[in-house]
Amino acid sequence: MKILMDSAINATEVRKNWSSFLDEVIRKRPKIVKRNRDYVLAMSIEHLQDLVQECRFIAHLEQDSATGHWIATLQGFDLIAYSENKEDALLQIANELMEYAHEYINEFELWHNAPNRKQHFPYLVKVMLQDNAHQVRNLIQCPAGEN
């Protein structure tokens, strides 16, 4: 972290040059800002998308033998969806993922500090960068033979 701290810009300088600071962050590169003992990373949405690019969502589909409905679960998450067809089950799991992402960010202190939920953060950032449930659905992959 010392390397990051050495490149930090003082918050006072950022305030004085707010417009040029944002231009550099958006068009050139992320920047670290130091305020007293605290450090903050400023980055563009494009760079954030690059950061979460490798986050993958794997869903597993299983058909309920009694009803014929499809059950979708998401690997690494406690989410489940139940529907009459595979695609609807996957779209429902995408909606569940979006709801969880909103809840996570709105109650960040709770969820991010929970040991079994902390690792969800980059994945949920990726979800929040999407425009709608169909885009979230397109992030979800199924193992061969399940979709």
Q: What is the domain extent for residue 95?
A: 53-141
Do 135 and 66 share a domain, yes or no?
A: yes
pLDDT at 3: 76
Do 67 and 104 share a domain, yes or no?
A: yes
Which residue's structure tokens are 């760079």? 47
pLDDT at 14: 97
pLDDT at 147: 63
Three-state DSSP at 89 gives helix
Do 105 and 61 share a domain, yes or no?
A: yes
Q: Which among 146, 57, 63 has a CA at the least distance from the CA of 96?
A: 57
Q: How far apart are CA 133 and CA 123, in angstroms?
A: 15
Residuewise pLDDT in 10s, the chain (147 residues):
677 678 899 999 999 999 999 999 999 999 999 999 999 999 999 999 999 999 999 999 999 999 999 999 999 999 999 999 999 999 999 999 999 999 999 999 999 999 999 999 999 999 999 999 999 999 999 987 666
Strands (E), the chain: 9-10, 31-35, 38-42, 57-63, 70-74, 80-83, 140-141
Final residue of a structural domain among 35, 50, 65: 50
